[in-house]
Amino acid sequence: MNTDKSGKVSVKVPAKASFRRELLAARALLTKEDAAGAAAVLATGALALPELADARTVAAYVSVGREPGTRALLDALRERGVRVLLPVLLEDNDLDWAVYEGAEHLLPAGRGLLEPDGPRLGPAAVLEADAVLLPGLAVDGAGMRLGRGGGSYDRVLARLSAAGADPALIVLLYENEVVARVPSEPHDHPVDAVVTPAGARRFTA
């Protein structure tokens, strides 16, 4: 990765695995204070998006480690009366879903994740979402998202597409993770908006 005069990171489109390693290494340098401060700003920015302001059901995820923080946002959405669905990782890497009932109802799960302890609703529950928060490592100017590489959200996006569902797709990132170009493949889906501590950006009308 290289930084241009504007401070944006430019990418020569390396292999996805190599790019992921670079981005994860940069996140690892963040302090807990850095991550906590960014999380509060991200929650405020995300809550201002019309796609979330008008949503009745939002599919989200619980951030872990130095991921851009989602926990303040999850609680704020729940306080608004929004039904928040959180993923439950299945053995085949697909995602089931359960309703978020508060931080006290999150349990440790595989791969260092946290999952809700409530009833499982099935993989198709995501079709009810008005907006989907996607985990990611980067997004480019066309809205193409680079995920963690597990393939779970590729299945989610394929399920939404097959059902004709069209929720708003939103990713939360650090500012340096908005790059010139992300390595992409034909099955990759662009997101509708990215929120960083510097503000929100839309990729679709």
pLDDT tens for each residue of 41-96: 999 999 999 999 989 999 999 999 999 999 999 999 999 999 999 999 999 999 99
Q: pLDDT-based confidence at 1, cuts 50/70/90? A: very low
Percentage of the chain modeled with pLDDT above 90: 81
Using alpha carbons, select from 202, 145, 172 the residue that is nearest to residue 44: 172
Which residue segment(s) compose the domain that 24 sits in?
A: 2-202
Query: CATH number for the domain including 166?
Result: 3.40.50.10420
Average pLDDT rounded to a whole number, residues 155-181: 96
pLDDT of 4 reads 47
Number of domains forming the structure of the chain: 1
Q: What is the pTM for the complete model shown?
A: 0.89
Q: Where are the beta strands (DSSP E) in the chain?
A: 2-3, 9-10, 57-59, 83-89, 95-99, 106-108, 114-116, 131-134, 138-140, 145-146, 168-172, 178-179, 193-196, 199-202
Q: Are 127 and 99 in contact (CB under 8 A)?
A: no
pLDDT tens for each residue of 134-164: 999 999 999 999 998 888 999 999 999 999 9
Mean pLDDT for the chain?
Answer: 91
Task: Identify the residue whose tokens are 């959200």.
Answer: 153
Residue 10 pLDDT exceeds 80: no
pLDDT tens for each residue of 12-23: 445 788 999 999
Distance CA 73, CA 187 (A): 29
Average pLDDT rounded to a whole number, residues 177-193: 87
Tell how strand 131-134 and strand 57-59 pair up. Answer: parallel
